[in-house]
Amino acid sequence: MQPDAPMAQLLGSVFGTGLGAGMAVQLVLFSFCGLAIALGGYSVRQLREIEASNLKGQDSKL
């Protein structure tokens, strides 16, 4: 991240402005995106209970 970039003043205190700082920002950003997707999927009841519904159909085959 370049020291004079617009976001450097905001993010530079946490991630720094040296080599690899931009990659650190990307890693944290995409980690939060993955977490948001996972929590969003968990909030959907059909997705949360999909394994139990699949096992009900397999009980008769065992």
**Closest by alpha carbon to 42, among 55, 29, 30, 51?**
51
Q: Which residue has the tokens 């931009």?
A: 22
Please, are residues 1 and 11 in contact by the beta-carbon 8 Å criterion? yes
Give the global pTM. 0.67
Residues 57, 2: Cα–Cα separation, whole Å? 57
Q: What is the pLDDT of residue 36?
A: 98
Helix (H) or strand (E) holding 24: helix 21-42
Q: Per-10-residue mean pLDDT for the chain, 62 residues long?
A: 84 90 95 97 88 71 52
What pLDDT was estimated at residue 61?
Answer: 55
